[in-house]
Amino acid sequence: MFTGSEGRRLRSISLGSAGCQPVVCGSLPQTMISPVLNVSPRFPFALRAKLHSAQRPNAAGWQPALPRISSARAFTLLEIMLAVIILGMMSLAIYRFVQANITAMRISSEADAMEARYDGLRELLTQQLQSLPPGTGALAGEPLKIDGHDRDELTWFCPAGPGLLTRYATGDFQVSLRLRARDAKSRQLDLGLLRKPKDDTAVANEHETWVRLIDNVGTLQIRFFDSRLNTWVQRWTDTVTLPRLVRVVIGRKDATAPTEITVPLARMPL
């Protein structure tokens, strides 16, 4: 309820005054029937603005205006597509990075395993050849070439032990380091040891056993250093003395440079 001057100004607002436009209810539908206020010019500006803003015309007539709802800005289709493309590129980059690292680790592990095999062969030859007794003809070597490639053989005689790759054997054995085809239809050569009893005279080689050491080897070259001639020789048939040095050169198919193993059998003079 208003009092004072505001009360007098509010009393000037009337539906039946000269400033009011009468509304015939019978000539309009029910949805169009709405009270219309005519505000006097002498009414305070702030109240007149508030009353006018509360009534907005629309298709159904004068109705109270709905409050404005502030809507947040949404993502556009272009922004969503760019985000998807960026995520896809990041996923592809991560996948390729992980795949490259896995491939590098696999290649590195295979190379380390192959190098470990050659290191084991070096230890085997060093331990066995340095333990051979002189004057017994315990070492022999023959050169051999097939299709222009070296396929030499190194042979020693020993009992059970590292040179035979077993402790469960009786008597002496002849052990040959040589190349051998994987099978009759394959051209792949493997490096290994061919073992058989020293006094075996069987024709069918039924007592021979093959131990594969390294797969897929290209060539095998064996040289002996003769201190009497002061040079390297291809064949060793001396049954009294042993060579000063034995050099084994293995041509590898998994590397550009061959692997060279040099085993000293006696102390070299300074």
**pLDDT (tens digit per residue) in 106-131:** 999 998 999 999 999 999 999 999 99
> Phi and psi at residue 251, in whole multiples of 5°?
-80, 120
pLDDT in the model for residue 52:
53
Q: Determine the Cα–Cα distance for residues 120 and 106; give it in Å rounded to an integer.
A: 21
On whether the pTM is more than 0.75, the answer is no
pLDDT > 90 in the chain, percent: 51
Give per-residue pLDDT as tens, 10-24.
455 444 444 444 444
* pLDDT computed for residue 27 by the predictor: 46
- Per-residue confidence at 67, pLDDT binned at 50, 70, 90? low
* Mean residue pLDDT across the chain: 80
Positive or negative CA dihedral for 164, 166, 172, 173? negative
